[in-house]
C-alpha cells in the first residue's frame, strides 16, 4: 500500500444512501487524539520522523517535557480480553488502548476524556496520561497544528466535496456483501484526519468503528486517499464477520491440507483489504488500476495482485467468500509463493514469543515491527500449553534452567521427541509443526538473541 484532538474545529459529514438505509462517513479532526499521536511519534522508542524533528528543534525540547514523554512510555495502559467463542486469531481482542483512543476522539476536553475512561485502566495511570496530554496541547498546537491549520481545513473541505461525488458508498456496500458482513448502518464509521508534516506520505490504521488517516497538506490524489480510507474500513468489515462465516473460513483453510495453510490464512486479512481497497476501490474511483505497488511489503502486495482477478469476478457476480475462493487462494500461495513460509520477514510477522526475560524480545520488536504478536513471560507448563493453541510462529527463548525446560518442550511437542539437545550449548533449532507453523527454540547463555539469530539466519531464511 502507498503510505509508507483537543477541540473539534469542525465536522464534515457525507451522507450516503444504501438502498433504503442511510450511511454516514464522518471526516473530522480530533485534537486530543492528534496530541496523543504526536506524543507517541516523539518518544524515544519511535523511529525518526518529521514530528520528532519539529519537537527537537523547538523551545520545548527541555528536560521537563522530555521527562513527560519518557513517562508516557512507562504507563501500564494495555489490557485486553478475548472473545472466547472465536478460535485464536479469528477475532481481534478488545484492547484497552483502543477504548482510550476512541474516547480521545470523542472528547472535547481532558476532563471529559477522564470521565469517559474511568474504570478502563487504573486511576493513577489514567491521571498521569491525562496530565501529559494536557501539558502537550499548547505545544502541539503551536509547533504543528496552528501553522498548518488553514491548509488542513482547506484539504478537509475538498475531501468532503469529493466524498459526495463518487462511488464510495456502492464500493463499500459491495465489499461488505463479499465479506458476508451485515453492518448496522446506525453505527457510523468515523474517519479521523490530521495533518502530517515534512515529507511523510499517507498513513492509516483502523480499530473498532474508526479509521485514522494522516496525509500531507499538499496531497491532491483524493482517489488514493479514499482507497486507503476504504482499505482501513474493510479491515473492520473483515473483523466483524459473523462467527459462522469466521468458522467456515477457518474450516475451508483446514480442508485444503496445504502445509502453507496457516501462513496463507494469516495473510488473508491484509491481502483482502489491499486487493479490495488499493486494487478494486482505486480502479473504480480512478477509472484505471494502479500500476504501482499497492502495499509496502512484498507478501501483501504480490498476493493481493495475484488474487485481484478473482476478487473482481466475485464482486461482479455479487458473491461472498466461499470454499472455492479459499481453495484457489491457498493454491496460488502454494504454486506462486512457496518459499514465503521459510522467510523470516513473513513468518515472524505473525509470532508468539515465550521467554524468561522481556528484554530478549527486543530483537524481534526492532527487526519485525509490523506484526500480529503475543509475548508470554515465565516459561512454564501452563504457558507452553497456552502457546500451543496459537496458530502463529512460536518462538521459545530459554535463558535459564535450560535442561529442565528443553525436556518440558519435548513432552509438549511431539515433533521434538526424536531430537537431541545439548542444554549447555547455545543454539537455535527451527522445527516445522503439524499445523503448518514453525517453532523456533533459542537456547542462550552469554550471547544475545540478536547475535544468535544473525549467526543462524544470515539471509533471514530457514534452511
Q: Within this chain, do residues 203 and 54 fall inside the same structural domain, yes or no?
A: yes
Map grid coordinates 517453532 to a residue: 439
Render pLDDT for 105-126 as a digit per residue (tens, 0 to 9). 999 999 999 999 999 999 999 9
Using one digit for the tens of pLDDT, what is the confidence trace for 325-373? 999 999 999 999 999 999 999 999 999 999 988 889 989 988 887 777 7
Same-domain status, 43 and 177: yes
pLDDT at residue 358, as a whole number: 87
- Beta strand spans in 29-131 (E): 80-81, 94-95
Residue after which a domain boundary falls, among 320, 340, 360: 340
Last residue of a domain, one of 305, 340, 375: 340
Q: Please report the pLDDT score of residue 26 as a whole number.
A: 67
List Cα–Cα distances, 256 to 15, 262, 263, 271, 329, in angstroms. Answer: 43, 11, 13, 19, 10
If phi > 0 it is left, if psi is from -120 to 50 it is alpha, else beta; for residue 35 that is alpha
Residue where a domain stops, chosen among 198, 217, 236: 236
Q: Where are the alpha helices (DSSP H) in 106-163?
A: 110-117, 123-140, 146-163
C-alpha cell at 82: 478475548
In this predicted structure, what is the pLDDT of residue 117? 97
Most confident option among 23-27, 258-262, 382-386: 258-262
The whole-number pLDDT of residue 48 equals: 85
Tell me, yes or no, whether 54 lies in a domain: yes
254 plus 226 within the same structural domain: no
Angle at CA of residue 115, ends 113 and 118, nearest 5°? 105
pTM check: above 0.75? yes
Which three cell numbers mark 227? 482507497
In this structure, is residue 303 part of a structural domain? Answer: yes
**Residue 462 in domain:** no
357 and 313 in a single domain? The answer is no
Pure H helices in 257-368? 261-273, 282-286, 298-317, 323-336, 344-347, 362-367
Given this model, what pLDDT does residue 4 score? Answer: 41
What's the rounded Cα separation, in Å, for the pair 49 and 330?
A: 38
* Parallel/antiparallel/unpaired status of strands 210-215 and 203-207: antiparallel
Question: Hey, what's the cell of 303?
Answer: 498476493
Do 183 and 75 reside in the same domain of the chain?
Answer: yes
Q: Is 373 found in the same domain as 296?
A: no
What digits encode the pLDDT tens for the residues 123-155?
999 999 999 999 999 999 999 999 999 999 998
pLDDT of residue 160: 82
Average pLDDT, the chain: 90
110 and 209 belong to one structural domain = yes
State the Cα–Cα distance between residues 232 and 277, nearest whole angstrom.
8
Q: What is the extent of the structural domain holding 403?
A: 344-456
**Both 221 and 280 in a single domain?**
no
**Residue at 48 is within a domain:** yes
248 and 332 in a common domain: yes
Q: Write the secondary structure of 256-278 as one string of H (helix), E (strand) and C (coil).
A: HCCCCHHHHHHHHHHHHHHHHHH
**57-89 per-position pLDDT tens digit:** 999 999 999 999 999 989 999 998 889 899 888
Q: Into how many domains does the chain fold?
A: 3
pLDDT per residue as tens digits for the range 154-203: 988 888 888 777 888 889 999 999 999 998 888 888 899 988 887 777 88
User: For residue 3, is it within any domain?
Assistant: no
Within a domain: 439: yes
State whether 60 and 143 are in the same domain: yes
More confident of the two residues 13 and 247: 247
> CA–CA separation, 190 vs 210, rounded Å?
5
Same domain, yes or no: 70 and 169: yes
Lowest mean pLDDT among 198-212, 224-238, 255-269, 339-353: 198-212
Residue 20 has pLDDT above 80, yes or no: no
Does 143 lie in the same domain as 101?
A: yes
Q: Distance between CA atoms of 339 and 460, rounded to whole angstroms?
A: 12
Does some domain include residue 40? yes
Amino acid at each position: 500500500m502507498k503510505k509508507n484532538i483537543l477541540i473539534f474545529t469542525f465536522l464534515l459529514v457525507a451522507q450516503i444512501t444504501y438502498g433504503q438505509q442511510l450511511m454516514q462517513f464522518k471526516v473530522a479532526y480530533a485534537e486530543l487524539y492528534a496530541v496523543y499521536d504526536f506524543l507517541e511519534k516523539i518518544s524515544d522508542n519511535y523511529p525518526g520522523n518529521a514530528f520528532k524533528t519539529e519537537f527537537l528543534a523547538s523551545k520545548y525540547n527541555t528536560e521537563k517535557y522530555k521527562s513527560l514523554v519518557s513517562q508516557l512510555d512507562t504507563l501500564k495502559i494495555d489490557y485486553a480480553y478475548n472473545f472466547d467463542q472465536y478460535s485464536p486469531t479469528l477475532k481481534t481482542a478488545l484492547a484497552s488502548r483502543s477504548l482510550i483512543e476512541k474516547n480521545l476522539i470523542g472528547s472535547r476536553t481532558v476532563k471529559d476524556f477522564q470521565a469517559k475512561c474511568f474504570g478502563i485502566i487504573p486511576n493513577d495511570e489514567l491521571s498521569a496520561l491525562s496530565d501529559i496530554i494536557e501539558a502537550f496541547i499548547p505545544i502541539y498546537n503551536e509547533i504543528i497544528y496552528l501553522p498548518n491549520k488553514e491548509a488542513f481545513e482547506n484539504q478537509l473541505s475538498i475531501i468532503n466535496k469529493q466524498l459526495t461525488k463518487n462511488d464510495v458508498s456502492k464500493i463499500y456496500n459491495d465489499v461488505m456483501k463479499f465479506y458476508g458482513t451485515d453492518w448496522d448502518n446506525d453505527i457510523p464509521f468515523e474517519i479521523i484526519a490530521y495533518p502530517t508534516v515534512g515529507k511523510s506520505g499517507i498513513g492509516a490504521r483502523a480499530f473498532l468503528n474508526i479509521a485514522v488517516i494522516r496525509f500531507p497538506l499538499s496531497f491532491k490524489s483524493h482517489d488514493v486517499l479514499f482507497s486507503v480510507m476504504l482499505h482501513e474500513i474493510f479491515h473492520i468489515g473483515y473483523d466483524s464477520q459473523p462467527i459462522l462465516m469466521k468458522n467456515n473460513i477457518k474450516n475451508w483453510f483446514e480442508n485444503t491440507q496445504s502445509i502453507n495453510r496457516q501462513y496463507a490464512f494469516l495473510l488473508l486479512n491484509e491481502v483482502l483489504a489491499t486487493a479490495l481497497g488499493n486494487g478494486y476501490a482505486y480502479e473504480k474511483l480512478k477509472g484505471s488500476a494502479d500500476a504501482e505497488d499497492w502495499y509496502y511489503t512484498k507478501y501483501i502486495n504480490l498476493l493481493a495482485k495475484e488474487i485481484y482477478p478473482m476478487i473482481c469476478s466475485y464482486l461482479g457476480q455479487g458473491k461472498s467468500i466461499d470454499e472455492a475462493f479459499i481453495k484457489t487462494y491457498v493454491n496460488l500461495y502454494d504454486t506462486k509463493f512457496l518459499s514465503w513460509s521459510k522467510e523470516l520477514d513473513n513468518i515472524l510477522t505473525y509470532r508468539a514469543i515465550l521467554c524468561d526475560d522481556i528484554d530478549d524480545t527486543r530483537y524481534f520488536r526492532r527487526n519485525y515491527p509490523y506484526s500480529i504478536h503475543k509475548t508470554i513471560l515465565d516459561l512454564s507448563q501452563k504457558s507452553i500449553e497456552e502457546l500451543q493453541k496459537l496458530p502463529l510462529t512460536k518462538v521459545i527463548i530459554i535463558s535459564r534452567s535450560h535442561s529442565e525446560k528443553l525436556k518440558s518442550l519435548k513432552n509438549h511437542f511431539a515433533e521434538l521427541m526424536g531430537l537431541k539437545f545439548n542444554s549447555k550449548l547455545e543454539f537455535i533449532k527451527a522445527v516445522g509443526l503439524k499445523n503448518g507453523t514453525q517453532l523456533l527454540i533459542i537456547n542462550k547463555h552469554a550471547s544475545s538473541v540478536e547475535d544468535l539469530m544473525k549467526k543462524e539466519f544470515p539471509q533471514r531464511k530457514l534452511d
